[in-house]
């Protein structure tokens, strides 16, 4: 048996035959044509351009149908295709040097790419990738070959690829793709997002997958434990089949809970809120069955582009989210970059310890205009709904006061400029132990707080969560975590101010019950965890949750806690 590991970005198990997806590569030969063939070749070129244009147009249509923002990529390709210099050079090569059309196209692009390679700029490199994409599209059209895309599959397969581009996934036929395996990409990649929304199991980041797998070979993709298995004996195959079946039944069963009211057996309502990372239709659909947005990550507005988003642009997007949720709260986390997240257009100095460095709110204090623009947009959008604004990486009372002063500044600017704006609640993300320990003071300065358990864990346990060599020290069920969270919840509950968990623990199968027992009445999570968490809530009583929480806080190791919870919750899981 051969086993390979990968990052399970979209859960599920599937088995089937491998379909190696390799984009079309045209043969380009240099042929001399006779002068009377030149006009024919120019016509062939125009035909290829028209074909390429039609393909791009239909792709653009598909993107806008899905409400995807990937249309910009198509725009860039169109722009290259219609560049007058391209037309001039290709037809020049055909007419003056009597090149055949494919050679003329290839030579023109080679020249252009060489020209661009001399420019020292990251963004140009992306444009070179675009140029290569357009070149291949044109050459394929010259060959009269239809686009080999994932929409044309006729039997169900497991797609293996180096990488999938938006133009590939846009046309993907979801009924024919049992699983996706790629060499590149992570949990936030385009492929991952599409795979999750189509509920296709996906394993990304499988090293050398194209060399390791044979076309047509039968494999099993276990995107629960992150394993790809090939050459299995019948016993192993049976084992996977059972696991897949169990998973299928469990998901079906859990799905029934997606739209129930999250109330415990003894009548205590728990707010189940949503973590969102864009304002896509897919995410906003969940407004129908959740109690609000507990974490609106605003980074997507800033990433994957070439400049800061304008105030207008932000106002529009925040308004869209607020409207989708009506009077339910939408918690907007202000820009959280630095650490592991960077912006292409902002050169940030390299730091020895980026997670302990100038990130999130600290970075915003270095560039207050960026934060102020965001706050102005948030305030203006607030007229459309119930907006809560939350600051990340708060470590001290000064941080809170400084952030609040910026809100005031933004408000008086807006008043002066005669913009109307709405009321907002101001809160903090609790992810640094220092602010957790002085929660009694912090609570007086804010309207609410939300616990970011991923960073809280990394800072409490002193573990860099991006460093694989210390990953075993990153223990999200460490007893210290539950004690610390318990302290924060009690402080906020005593003060009568909302407290929420929006980290991974909030939607965790084992963690959610403990949090409820600690007094948490608001949990926020990714859409994928909603059904499972609601199931937990509706089968739980407060008395039972409290007993569980108390026991957990008095167990001494993570291992003991996991074993205990797995057993104590066995009837619900």
Partner 1 sequence: MVKRTTVIKNKTGLHARPASDFVQAASKFKSNISICRVGEEDDEVNAKSIIFLLSLGLCQGDEAVVSASGEDEQEAVDYLVELIESGFGE
For strand 271-276 and strand 177-182, is the pairing parallel, antiparallel, or unpaired? unpaired
Rule CB under 8 A: is residue 369 a binding residue for partner 1?
no
CA 539 to chain centre: 31
> Distance between CA 429 and CA 426 in Å, rounded?
10
Rule CB under 8 A: is residue 127 a binding residue for partner 1?
yes
Q: Which is nearer to partner 1, 124 or 405 (CB)?
A: 124
Q: How far apart are CB 79 and partner 1 at their closest, in Å?
A: 5
Rule CB under 8 A: is residue 349 a binding residue for partner 1?
no
Q: How far apart are CB 114 and partner 1 at their closest, in Å?
A: 9
Q: Which of 306, 340, 494, 559 binds partner 1 (CB under 8 A)?
A: 306
Q: Which is nearer to partner 1, 81 or 501 (CB)?
A: 81
Residue pair 190/210 in contact (Cβ under 8 Å)? The answer is no
- Of residues 309 through 348, those in contact with partner 1 by CB under 8 A are 310, 345
Q: Which of 123, 129, 207, 462 binds partner 1 (CB under 8 A)?
A: 123
Nearest one of 489, 480, 483 to 460, comparing CA atoms = 480
Find the radius of gyration of the CA atoms of the chain. Answer: 27
Whether 190 is a known active-site residue: answer yes
Rule CB under 8 A: is residue 414 a binding residue for partner 1?
no
Site string for partner 1, 79-118 (x = CB under 8 A): xx--xxxx-------------------------x--xx-x
Q: How far apart are CB 109 and partner 1 at their closest, in Å?
A: 9
Q: Which of 1, 57, 119, 441 binds partner 1 (CB under 8 A)?
A: 119
> Distance between CA 459 and CA 473 in Å, rounded?
12
- Of residues 47 through 86, those in contact with partner 1 by CB under 8 A are 75-76, 79-80, 83-86
Rule CB under 8 A: is residue 285 a binding residue for partner 1?
no
DSSP 333-358: EP---BTTB--TTS-PPP-SSGGGSS
The active-site residue out of 77, 99, 142, 190 is 190
DSSP 11-56: --EEEEEEEE-----------B--GGGHHHHHHHHHHHHHHHHHHH
- Of residues 230 through 249, those in contact with partner 1 by CB under 8 A are none
Whether 502 is a known active-site residue: answer yes
- Of residues 418 through 447, those in contact with partner 1 by CB under 8 A are none
> Distance between CA 96 and CA 562 in Å, rounded?
75
The residues assigned a catalytic role are: 190, 502
Residues of this chain that bind partner 1 (CB under 8 A): 75-76, 79-80, 83-86, 112, 115-116, 118-121, 123-124, 127, 131, 306-308, 310, 345
């Amino acid at each position: 048996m051969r086993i390979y590991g990968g990052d399970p970005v979209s859960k599920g198990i599937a088995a089937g035959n491998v379909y190696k997806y390799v984009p079309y590569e045209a043969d380009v030969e240099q042929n001399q044509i006779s002068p009377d063939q030149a006009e024919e070749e120019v016509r062939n070129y125009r035909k290829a351009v028209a074909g390429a244009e039609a393909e791009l147009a239909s792709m653009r249509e598909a993107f806008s149908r899905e409400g995807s923002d990937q249309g910009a990529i198509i725009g860039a390709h169109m722009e290259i295709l219609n560049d007058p210099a391209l037309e001039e050079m290709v037809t020049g090569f055909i007419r003056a040097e009597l090149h055949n059309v494919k050679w003329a196209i290839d030579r023109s692009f080679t020249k252009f790419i060489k020209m661009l390679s001399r420019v020292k700029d990251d963004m140009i490199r992306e444009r070179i990738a675009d140029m290569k994409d357009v070149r291949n599209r044109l050459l394929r059209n010259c060959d009269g070959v239809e686009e080999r895309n994932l929409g044309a599959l006729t039997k169900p397969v497991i797609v293996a690829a180096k990488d999938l581009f938006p133009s590939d996934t846009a046309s993907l036929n979801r009924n024919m793709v049992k699983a996706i395996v790629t060499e590149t990409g992570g949990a936030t990649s385009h492929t991952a997002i599409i795979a999750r929304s189509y509920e296709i199991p996906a394993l990304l980041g499988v090293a050398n997958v194209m060399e390791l797998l044979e076309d047509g070979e039968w494999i099993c993709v276990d995107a629960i434990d992150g394993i790809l298995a090939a050459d299995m004996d019948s016993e192993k195959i049976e084992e996977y089949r059972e696991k897949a079946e169990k998973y299928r039944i469990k998901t079906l069963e859990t799905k029934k809970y997606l739209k129930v009211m999250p109330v415990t057996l003894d009548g205590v309502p728990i707010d189940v809120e949503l973590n969102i990372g864009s304002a896509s239709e897919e995410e906003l659909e969940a407004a129908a069955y959740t109690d609000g947005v507990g974490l609106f990550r605003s980074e997507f507005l800033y990433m994957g582009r070439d400049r800061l988003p304008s105030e207008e642009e932000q106002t529009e997007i925040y308004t869209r989210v607020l409207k989708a949720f009506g009077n339910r709260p939408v918690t907007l986390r202000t820009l959280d970059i630095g650490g592991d997240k960077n912006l292409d257009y902002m050169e940030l100095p390299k730091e020895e310890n980026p997670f302990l460095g100038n990130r999130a709110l600290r970075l915003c204090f270095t560039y207050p205009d960026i934060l102020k623009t965001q706050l102005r947009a948030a305030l203006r959008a607030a007229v459309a709904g119930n907006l809560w604004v939350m600051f990340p990486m708060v470590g001290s009372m000064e941080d809170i006061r400084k952030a609040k002063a910026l809100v005031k500044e933004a408000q008086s600017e807006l008043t002066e400029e005669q913009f109307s704006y709405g009321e907002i609640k101001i809160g903090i993300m609790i992810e640094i132990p220092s602010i957790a320990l002085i929660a009694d003071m912090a609570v007086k300065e804010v309207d609410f707080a939300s616990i970011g358990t991923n960073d809280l864990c990394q800072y409490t346990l002193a573990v860099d969560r991006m460093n694989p060599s210390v990953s075993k020290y990153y223990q999200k069920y460490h007893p210290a975590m539950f004690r610390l969270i318990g302290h924060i919840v009690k402080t906020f509950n005593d003060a009568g101010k909302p407290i929420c968990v929006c980290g991974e623990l909030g939607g965790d199968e084992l963690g959610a019950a403990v949090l409820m027992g600690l007094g948490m009445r608001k949990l926020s999570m990714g859409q994928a965890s909603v059904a499972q968490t609601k199931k937990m809530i509706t089968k739980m009583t407060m008395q039972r949750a409290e007993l569980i929480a108390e026991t957990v806080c008095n167990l001494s190791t993570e291992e003991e806690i996991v074993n205990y919870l797995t057993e104590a919750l066995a009837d619900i899981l």
